[in-house]
Amino acid sequence: MRMTAALIIVVIVTGCARCGAKDDLGSGEAATAAESSDAAATSQTSGAEEQAERIADDLVARPLDDAPAWIIEHERPISANALVYVADDGTPILADTPWTPAATRTLLDWIEGRFGELPALATISHFHLDAAGGLSALHEEGVETVASEHTARLLVERGEAMRQDLARTHGAAFEGWEVAEPQQTFAPDEPARLSIGGSSVEIHFPGPAHTADNVVTWFPGEGLLFGGCLVKGGDSLGFLGHADLARYPDSVRKLQALEPALVVSGHGARHDAEQLENTLRLAEAEAEAAEADKAVADGGATEDAAGEPDLASAARGEPEPCGVARRGPRGAPAAAPERMQAPAFKVSAGADTLVTCDEAVSIVEEFISYVRESATVRGWACDWAEDGADPIARCTSPGGEILIRRKSS
C-alpha cells in the first residue's frame, strides 16, 4: 500500500562548514580524541609551517622533516592532500592530484620551478576527484600517470557524474573540463614495483576500504606511506558512500604490516604512523555497526539497544515508512552545501520540494550520501517521529537542517 500524502522538505543552511559534533564516540572520548589529534597535528606541523610555501591562494606545500617529500594541501572545496616525493637523484614523483586541472597546473609550475623538472610519474590512489581531478593537466604536460585497472574503469563509469555534481555544489572550478583516465594501469593482484631516480616506489592494493579501488604509494627507503583517503587521522572515516565496511579493517591491517615510519593521509595535517591504528579502530567500529544493521534488516524490524525500532529495517517494506522509527544514520557532514540540486532528490536551499510519504526515507538517505561527497563528515543526525507527528522527520547538524513535513491538502 502506497501512501499518497505529500510531504514538504525544507532545507535550512546556516553555515559553519567545519564545526560539528563528534560522531561514533561518547562526549568524553570525543574530547580526548580531539585533543590528542589536535596536539599531534600541532606538534607535527609547527616546524613545517615555518617552511611552508603558499603556491596559490588555495594551495600550500609543507615539507616533511623526516623524508624528502612535501605534503601538498589543496584547501578548496574541501581540504585534500597530495604528495611530492623527491627521488635520490632529485627527480620528483607525485602521488594524487589536486581537485582540478587548474590547481594541478599551478602545482606543476611550482614543482618545475623548485626541482628543475616535472614529475617523472604520478600515482593515483582512487577514483574520487580529490585524488584524480587533475589527470588531464598532467597529461597536457607529458607527466606519466598510473593507477589500478579498477580505478581507470571507475573514472570512466563515474568520473563525469561526480564532476557535474561538484559543479552544481561548488561552481566554476568544476566546469569546462572533463575527467581523464590514467595512461598506465596495473592489475592490483600484486604490488607495482618501480625504480625511479635511484629510489624504490611501490603501489599496493591492500583491499577494499574507503573505496573498492583504493591503493597506496609506498616509499620503502624512507618508510613513507601515502595512504590517500583510506587512512584517517581524525575521529571519523569520512565519506562512506563507496566504502566496503566489512573489509576495511583487514585492508588497514595489511598496511600496518609494512611498518611505515611516516604516513600521509588524503586529508588532515598528521603524518605519523599511529594514524593506521586510529583508522583501524574507526573501521572496526563501523564494520561492527554495519553488521548489526544488516542482521536487523535481514531479520525484520526489531528494537535496538535503546528499545526503539530500527529505521533501516522498519522503513523498508512497511506501508507507512515515515513514522515508524527514530534512528539516525552513522557519520555525518558538517554542513549542507550552499546549493543542493542533485537529481536524485531535487532539493535546493531556500526552496520546497514536494514528495510522497513513501519517498521520504530514500530521499533523506540519498541526501546524507550526497552531502558526504562534498562536505567534511561530522555532526548529522536524523530523527523519525512517532506515527501522526509533524514534522515526520528532522535531520540536523551545526550547519543546517532538513525538515520533512506533511503537506496539508
Which pLDDT tens digit goes with each residue over 381-393? 555 555 556 555 5
Cell 522538505 -> residue: 9
Mean pLDDT lowest among 10-19, 81-90, 222-231, 280-289: 10-19
Q: What is the mean pLDDT of residues 41-69?
A: 79
In a domain, 22, yes or no: no
In a domain, 319, yes or no: yes
Is the pLDDT confidence value at 64 over 80? Answer: yes
- Give yes or no: residues 277 and 329 share one domain: no
Summarize pLDDT for 256-315 with one digit per residue, the tens.
Answer: 999 999 999 999 999 999 999 999 999 999 888 877 766 655 554 333 433 333 333 333
In a domain, 228, yes or no: yes
Cα–Cα distance between 180 and 166 in angstroms, integer? 16
Summarize pLDDT for 141-174 with one digit per residue, the tens.
Answer: 999 999 999 999 999 999 999 999 889 888 899 9
Cell 566554476 -> residue: 172
In a domain, 299, yes or no: no
In a domain, 21, yes or no: no
Task: Specify whether the CB–CB gap between 346 and 353 falls below 8 A.
Answer: yes
Mean pLDDT, the chain, whole residue set:
73
- Residue among 20, 21, 24, 34 at smallest CA distance from 287: 24
Cα–Cα distance between 346 and 73 in angstroms, integer? 32
- Give yes or no: residues 183 and 235 share one domain: yes
Is the pLDDT confidence value at 409 over 60? Answer: no
In a domain, 301, yes or no: no
Cα–Cα distance between 343 and 360 in angstroms, integer? 15
Number of domain units in the chain: 2
Per DSSP, the residues of 256-273 read: HTT--SEEEESSSS--BT
- Residue among 273, 235, 237, 278 at smallest CA distance from 44: 273
- Give yes or no: residues 67 and 151 share one domain: yes
Strands ordered across the beta sheet of 262-265: 192-196, 199-204, 216-219, 224-228, 262-265
Range of the domain at 320: 6-16+308-406
Residues 6+ apart with CB under 8 A from 96: 81, 82, 83, 122, 123, 124, 125, 130, 131, 132, 226, 228, 266
Cα–Cα distance between 277 and 290 in angstroms, integer? 20
pLDDT of residue 84: 98
Residues in the chain: 409
CATH number, domain containing residue 252: 3.60.15.10
Is the pLDDT confidence value at 340 over 90? Answer: no
pLDDT of residue 95: 98
pLDDT of residue 253: 98
> Is the full-model pTM beyond 0.75?
no
Local confidence band at 353 (pLDDT 50, 70, 90 cut-offs):
very low
CA distances 7 to 355, 363, 364, 408, Å, are 5, 11, 12, 9
In a domain, 300, yes or no: no
